[in-house]
Structure 1
Amino acid sequence: MPFPDAGAAVSIVDSHCHLDFHNFDEDRDELIARAKAAGVTRMVTICTRLREEPKIRAIAESHDGIFYAAGTHPMSVAEEPMITVEDLVALARHPKFVGIGETGLDYHYTAESAAAQQESLRIHIEAARRTGLPLIIHARDADEDMARILTEEHRAGAYSCVMHCFSSGAELAQAALDLGFYLSMSGIAAFPRSTELREIFAAAPIDRILVETDAPYLAPPPHRGKRNEPAFVTRTAAKGAEIFGLSYEEFAAQTSANFDRLFTRAAA
Structure 2
Amino acid sequence: MKLFDTHAHLDEEAFHPDRPETVQRAIDEGVETILTIGTTADSSQRAVDLAATFPNVYAVVGIQPNYIAQMKPGDWERIEALSTTDKVVGIGETGLDCYWDYAPIELQREYFSKHIHLSQKLDLPFVIHCREAEADVVELLKQEAKNAPLKGLMHSFCGSPETAAACLELGLHISFAGMLTFKKNDELRETARQIPLDRLLVETDAPYLAPVPMRGKRNEPAFVKHTCACLAELHNKTAEEMAEITTANAKSLFKIN
TM-score by length of 1: 0.92
**Percent identity of the aligned residues?**
39
Tell me the distance in 2 between the aligned counterparts of 1:256 and 1:82.
38
The equivalences for 1:162-173 within 5 A come to: 162-173=153-164
Match of 1:217 in 2: 208
**Deviation digits for residues 207-235 of structure 1, max 9, x if unmatched?**
10000000000100111122100000001
Q: Does 1:183 align with 2:183?
A: no
Match of 1:96 in 2: 87
- Contact 1:20/1:55 (8 A) holds in 2: yes
- Contact 1:11/1:253 (8 A) holds in 2: yes
Cα RMSD for the two superposed structures: 1.5
Distance 1:155 1:235, change over 3 A: same
Q: Between 172-181 and 88-97, report the one with greater CA deviation.
A: 88-97
- Contact 1:15/1:44 (8 A) holds in 2: yes
Tell me the distance in 2 between the aligned counterparts of 1:161 and 1:222.
29
Q: Does 1:16 align with 2:7?
A: yes
The equivalences for 1:238-249 within 5 A come to: 238-249=229-240
CA deviation after TM superposition for structure 1 residue 52, in Å: 2.6
Q: Between 46-55 and 145-154, report the one with greater CA deviation.
A: 46-55
Tell me the distance in 2 between the aligned counterparts of 1:201 and 1:56.
29
Match of 2:143 in 1: 152
Q: Does 1:69 align with 2:60?
A: yes
Give the number of equivalent residue pairs.
257
Tell me the distance in 1 between the aligned counterparts of 2:203 and 2:151.
18
Tell me the distance in 1 between the aligned counterparts of 2:232 and 2:74.
38
The equivalences for 1:30-179 within 5 A come to: 30-81=21-72, 87-110=78-101, 113-179=104-170
Distance 1:82 1:177, change over 3 A: farther
Distance 1:83 1:238, change over 3 A: farther
Q: Does 1:197 align with 2:194?
A: no
Tell me the distance in 2 between the aligned counterparts of 1:95 and 1:155.
30
Tell me the distance in 2 between the aligned counterparts of 1:86 and 1:102.
16
Runs of 4+ in 1 over 4 A off after TM superposition: 82-87
Structure 2, unaligned runs of 5 or more: none
CA deviation after TM superposition for structure 1 residue 205, in Å: 0.4
CA deviation after TM superposition for structure 1 residue 83, in Å: 7.5
